[in-house]
Chain A
Amino acid sequence: MVTIAEEWLNSCSGCEIALLNLGETLLDLLPDLSFVHIPVLADNKYYGQTGERSALEIPKAQVGIISGGVRNEEHLEVLHVMRKQTDILVALGTCATEGGIPALANLTSTASMREMVYRGQPSTVPGPDPDTEAHHLPRMLERCDALHQHVAVDLSIPGCPPHPDWIAEAIGALLAGRAPKLPSRSVCDGCPTYRTGKSSSPALHRLLDQPAYDADQGLDAMQCLLEQGFMCLGPVTRRGCGGRTGSPRCISARVPCRGCYGRISAHTMPMVDYVGALTSVGQNFAAMPDKQGYLSRFDGSEAILKKLED
C-alpha cells in the first residue's frame, strides 16, 4: 500500500483528468493506493474539516503528486508543505515541470495583467481591485514558475497533459521500488510521417493553411509537416504524447506539434535548436513569426522571455 497526496497549483485540472484516463488500470491499482489528500476528488481540508486550525496542513504521504506551476503565495505554501510531508515528490505535467502555457504570463508583468483584467476590459466596470492586504487572498507572485525552481523534485512527468501510460509507469515503478522508464528523445523520433530531406514549400505556413495528406491513407503516407512548412515543433519537443505505442497526437490529428511535452532535456535550447531544424529543410528561421509564442509556449518558466510592451 502506498499513500499519496495530490495537489494542483496553477493548473487546469487536465493532469487530473489524465490520471482518471488510466481507466481500468486505475481501478485495478486503487486497492494498492491510498489517497490521503486530493482536492479534486476528496474532502480533506487544509485548516481542518471545520476550519479549526490556523496553519495549512496536509497529511504525510509516501508519494506527493503536484500538477500546475507556482503563481501565488498559496501555491508556494502548499508546495513547501507537500515537500515536507512527502518522501517522493512528483511534478506531473508540463506546468509543473517547465511552467506550461500559464507561464506565458512571464511575457508580461503581474501589474499590467491585473490592470487589463480588472480595468481594461470592455465588459468590466472598474471597482476596487482584489486586495490581498484587506482580504484573505494570496498575493500573486511576479512570475509563474515550475516546481523545481522552489523545491527539490524527485520525478518529472512532462506532458500537457501527460499520457496515462507514463503516469501508470511512474506509479507502477514507485510501487515496485524501481526507477520509472520515461521517454527521452524527440517527438520526430516516434513520428511515422515520411521525410524527403527538403521542404516541399517555398515559405513557412501558419495554421491558416491546410497541410496536404490523403485521408484514406495512414500517417506514413503524409509528408512531414515541417517539410511542408508548418512550423512543427517535433524536433525540439520531448517524445511521449502518443503513449507507449501511439503516434504523436497532433500528428494523428494531422496538425503540427506545438511542443506540449516541453524540452527534450533540461540542457537543450529550443530557440537555438529550431534554427537548425528549419535550416535543414531549407526554411529560414528569420521568417518565423512570434518566435517566443511558438518556441516558448510551454517552457516559459525556463526560457528568458522578452516582455511584451505593457
Chain B
Amino acid sequence: MSQTIRIAPLTRIEGHAALDIHLDQDGDVSEARMTVMSLRGFEKFVVGRPVEEVPRIVTRICGICPWQHHLASTKAAEACLGVTPTPTATKLRELCQMLATIPDKILHFYFLAAPDFVLGPDSDPAGRNVVGLVGAAPELARKAALMRYKTQMGLEKFAGKVIHPVAVLVGGFSKPLMEEDRRELTALAQEALAFSLESVKLAREQIFPKYLKLFQELGEYPSAYLGLVNPDDGAMALYDGIFRLMDQDGSYDEFPASDYLAHLAEKVEPWSYLKFPYMRKSGRLVMDEKAPVGVYRTNCLARVNVCEGISTPQAHGELEIFRREFGRPAHQAFLYHWARLIELVHCCERALELLADPEIMGRDIRTQPIAPRAGEGVGCVEAPRGSLIYHLKTDHEGMVTAANLLAGTTHNNAGMNLSLKQAAKTAIRGGVYDQGLLNTVEMCVRAYDP
C-alpha cells in the first residue's frame, strides 16, 4: 500500500515548511517534497506606498535577515528615484550588513545545525536542540550565545534598531559613525573574528570529517550557482557587484542585477506556495535529481563556488583549503555549512577593514535633495540565504506601482527539493525508517538554512 509521511513542521529552520515523503507499494520513495505552507504577498501590499517607506516595510519578510531586505529595497528605490548614496553612507551600509551577518551565521551553525552534529542526527529528538547542546558542550554553547548576542547589541547601539532596522534611508544613512562607536565596534569585530577562526577550525577538524561521507551519499548532485562578484576581479561580493551564474562545468554568464529577467524565470508548482526560480536559458525546470534541468543554487556554497577569491586574507586562506579538498564548483549540500563558516570569517575581516577606513567617519551621510519621480529600478545584495533581488516601479509622486521580489530561499527552492528527494530516496528503502533517518533527511534541507 502506498503511503505519505508528513513531517511537519520542518524544525530548526527559519521558515515555515513541511516535508512530504511518498512511499510506493514496496515502501520505496516515489516522491519527496518540501512544501512551503503560506504566502504573505508583500509585493502586493507595498503597491501604493511611498517608495522610500518600502525599506521600512519589507524588513518584516524576515526577522533574521531584515538588514538585507532593508538594503536591497533601498537600492531599488534609489534606482527608481535616480539617487546615488554618498560614499560614506555606502560604507556604513556595508558595515551594517557585515555586522548583521555575523550573528545570523552563528545562530545557524551553533543553534540550529550543531545539535545534529554534537548530539548526533539520530539522538533523542526531545534533547536535540540548543538546550541539549548547552548540556553537552556548555562552554562552547555559552560562548556562541554570547557572541551572537553581543554583535546584535553592538549593531543595535549604533544603528538604533537591529531587528527590523530603520537607519538606511534613500540617498544614504540616517546618522554618522562617531569615534566611540568605531572603537566599540572594532573591539567587537576583533572578538568576533577570533571566535570565527576558532569555529571554522573546530568544524574543519572535528565536526565535518565525521559527516562528509554520510552526506556525500545523501546529498550531491550537480547544479548551476548564482552569486554576486566584484566586476573587476571576480572576488566574492556581498554588498554590491554583478551576478555570475555558473554552470555545472564552471563556465559562466555575468549580468548586472537590472538584467535579471533575461536570465532568471520562476515556475509555479501546485503543491507549494513558494515559487521555483530556474535559469531562463534552459527553457524549463526539471527537478529530477539524476538529470536536473534549469536548477541553480544560491547562498554561501554558491558564492564560494562562483567567486575567484575572497578579498580578505584569512577567509581566502580558508577558501583555498576548501577548494583543495572539494574542487570548484563543489556540489555537496552538506558543504553549505563549511562555506557558511568561511563567509563568517570574511564578514568579520571586512567589518574591520571598513571600520579602519577614514571615509566611514565622514559626515556627508545623505544625498539631498531627493525629489519623487516616475521610475523603475532593481536593487540587490547577497543575503545569508542567497541573492536578494528587488524590482520596483514608481509613479510621478514616487508611489510604488509595481514590485517584484526574488529572495534567497526562493532561489534555492528547487535545489532544496532536489536534495530532499535524493536524501529520502537513498535513506528510506523497503518502508524502513525511523525518526533518526527522517532527521538525517531533514538535515539535508537544514544545510541550506532556509
Whether, in the assembled complex, B210 has its beta carbon less than 8 Å from a beta carbon of chain A, the answer is: no
Are B14 and A13 closer than 8 Å at their CB atoms?
yes
Enumerate chain B residues within 8 angstroms of A250, measured Cβ to Cβ. 160-161, 166
Whether, in the assembled complex, B202 has its beta carbon less than 8 Å from a beta carbon of chain A, the answer is: no
Q: Which of A23, A42, A104 has a CB less than 8 Å from the CB of B153?
A: A23
Enumerate chain A residues within 8 angstroms of B169, measured Cβ to Cβ. 207, 210, 255
| Chain A 182-203 interface mask (CB, 8 Å, partner B; 1/0) | 0000000000000000000000
Are A49 and B438 closer than 8 Å at their CB atoms?
yes
Enumerate chain A residues within 8 angstroms of B398, measured Cβ to Cβ. 206, 208
* CB closest chain-A residue, reference B7: A51
Are B12 and A255 closer than 8 Å at their CB atoms?
no
Report the stretch among A127-135, A147-155, A278-286 that lies at the interface: A127-135
Whether, in the assembled complex, B429 has its beta carbon less than 8 Å from a beta carbon of chain A, the answer is: no
Which one of A26, A44, A130, A136 has the greatest number of beta carbons of chain B within 10 Å?
Answer: A130
A12 CA / B435 CA spacing, docked (Å): 28
The number of chain B residues touching the other chain, given as a range, is 35 or more
Whether, in the assembled complex, A98 has its beta carbon less than 8 Å from a beta carbon of chain B, the answer is: no
| Chain B 409-446 interface mask (CB, 8 Å, partner A; 1/0) | 00000000000000000000000011100110000000
Shortest beta-carbon distance, A239 to chain B, in Å? 15
Are A49 and B435 closer than 8 Å at their CB atoms?
yes
A35 CA / B111 CA spacing, docked (Å): 15
Whether, in the assembled complex, A158 has its beta carbon less than 8 Å from a beta carbon of chain B, the answer is: no
Are A293 and B49 closer than 8 Å at their CB atoms?
yes
Are A124 and B63 closer than 8 Å at their CB atoms?
no
Q: How many A residues touch B, CB cutoff 8 Å?
A: 89
A68 CA / B435 CA spacing, docked (Å): 29
A37 CA / B26 CA spacing, docked (Å): 34
Are B275 and A124 closer than 8 Å at their CB atoms?
yes
Are B273 and A130 closer than 8 Å at their CB atoms?
yes
Whether, in the assembled complex, A180 has its beta carbon less than 8 Å from a beta carbon of chain B, the answer is: no
Given A208-B52, A249-B166, A130 and B261 touching (CB < 8 A)? Answer: no
Whether, in the assembled complex, B45 has its beta carbon less than 8 Å from a beta carbon of chain A, the answer is: yes
| Chain A 152-189 interface mask (CB, 8 Å, partner B; 1/0) | 00000000110000000000000000000000000000
27 pairs from A and B in contact (CB 8 Å cutoff): A13-B63, A14-B63, A14-B163, A20-B149, A30-B131, A35-B131, A40-B13, A41-B11, A41-B130, A42-B131, A47-B6, A49-B438, A51-B7, A51-B438, A123-B264, A130-B270, A207-B53, A207-B56, A208-B370, A209-B370, A249-B160, A253-B165, A258-B53, A289-B50, A294-B53, A308-B45, A308-B47
* 19 extra interface residue pairs, beta carbon distance < 8 Å, beyond A51-B438, A137-B35: A13-B14, A27-B142, A27-B145, A40-B14, A41-B131, A42-B125, A42-B131, A43-B11, A43-B126, A45-B125, A50-B5, A51-B5, A51-B6, A125-B265, A125-B267, A130-B269, A136-B20, A209-B368, A308-B45
